[in-house]
């Protein structure tokens, strides 16, 4: 027996985190929501295998944080073990981006409110910034992933049939549908090969979000039901079929 080289270990572990196109979209969507985004555009090329792009209008990544934005175990969200008890975010950007770098070619364009122009960063296999240049995009962050699973032939082979590709696109749409319902104020679009597949405008409340996503006919057959739990505090508005 012999020890695997670090690059192989990194690739294998990352392929457990990023196992599909919908995994990529989920990780990048949650990063966008954690950044306070109210608008997210998801663009796929060849069902995401050639390119996945998620653009948000969130807070952006500060220039001083950019060198470690895809470094594993770097985060601004926790400082110690006790912070895990009161997390209000979806996860840690570095863990997701770091894993993405191991299974595709990643570029990040980002701008904070205080910066004059956005910057485009190219990342290598280990998540290090290898180049940067000014960009024209406004405030927020755009992450693009090209050639997904190019170094994992078995994973890539999974998408060899058109049916599996179509199923994956539907899973991406279902994922965005869920975010659209729980985040009424979020504007969302899904584009595949430059064709708009699905979109949802900002809504005033959960009922409006349900109408925008499920349609007035479906929502007309729902009855509001509220559940509150004190410890730990949870408040969930639930709709049941009448």
Residue 136 and residue 211 in one domain:
no
Indicate whether 178 and 217 sit together in one domain: no
Whether residue 53 contacts residue 143, with contact meaning beta carbons closer than 8 Å, is answered with yes
Considering the domain boundaries, does residue 1 fall inside one?
A: no
How many structural domains is the chain composed of?
A: 2
Strand partners, 123: 106, 129
pLDDT of residue 138: 95
In a domain, 145, yes or no: yes
pLDDT for 107-150, tens place per residue? 999 999 999 999 999 999 989 999 999 999 999 999 999 999 98
Dist. CA 236–CA 121, nearest whole Å? 40
pTM: 0.84
pLDDT attached to residue 240 = 58
Q: Are residues 146 and 228 in the same domain?
A: no
Specify if 41 maps to a domain: yes
In the prediction, which pLDDT does 78 show? 46
Tell me, yes or no, whether 54 and 109 share the same domain.
yes
For residue 143, the enclosing domain spans 6-202
What does the CA dihedral 51, 14, 55, 166 come to, rounded to 10 degrees? 50
Residues 136, 232 within the same domain:
no
Check whether residue 80 and residue 179 sit in a common domain. yes
Which positions of the chain have pLDDT values less than 50? 78, 83-84, 93
CA dihedral 136, 139, 143, 144 (to 10 degrees): -30
Does a structural domain hold residue 72?
yes
Both 115 and 131 in a single domain? yes
């Amino acid at each position: 027996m012999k020890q695997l080289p670090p690059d192989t270990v990194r690739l294998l572990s990352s392929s457990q985190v990023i196992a599909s196109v919908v995994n990529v979209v989920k990780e990048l969507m949650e990063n966008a929501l954690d950044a306070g985004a109210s608008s997210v555009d998801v663009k796929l090329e060849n069902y995401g295998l050639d390119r996945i792009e998620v653009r948000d209008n969130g807070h952006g990544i500060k220039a001083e944080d950019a060198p470690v934005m895809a470094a594993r175990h770097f985060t601004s969200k926790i400082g110690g073990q006790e912070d895990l008890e009161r997390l209000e975010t979806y996860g840690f950007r570095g863990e997701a981006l770091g894993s993405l770098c191991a299974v595709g070619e990643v570029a990040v364009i980002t701008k904070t409110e205080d910066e004059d122009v956005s910057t485009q960063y190219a990342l290598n296999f280990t998540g290090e910034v290898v180049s940067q240049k000014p960009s024209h995009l406004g405030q927020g962050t755009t992450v693009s992933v090209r050639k997904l699973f190019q170094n994992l032939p078995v994973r890539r082979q999974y998408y060899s049939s058109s049916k599996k590709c179509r199923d994956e696109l539907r899973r991406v749409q279902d994922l965005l549908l869920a975010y659209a319902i729980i985040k009424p104020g979020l504007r969302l679009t899904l584009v595949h090969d430059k064709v708009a597949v699905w979109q949802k405008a900002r809504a005033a409340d959960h009922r409006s979000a349900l109408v925008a996503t499920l349609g007035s006919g479906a929502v007309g057959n729902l009855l509001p039901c509220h559940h509150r739990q004190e410890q730990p505090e949870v408040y969930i508005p639930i709709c049941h079929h009448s």
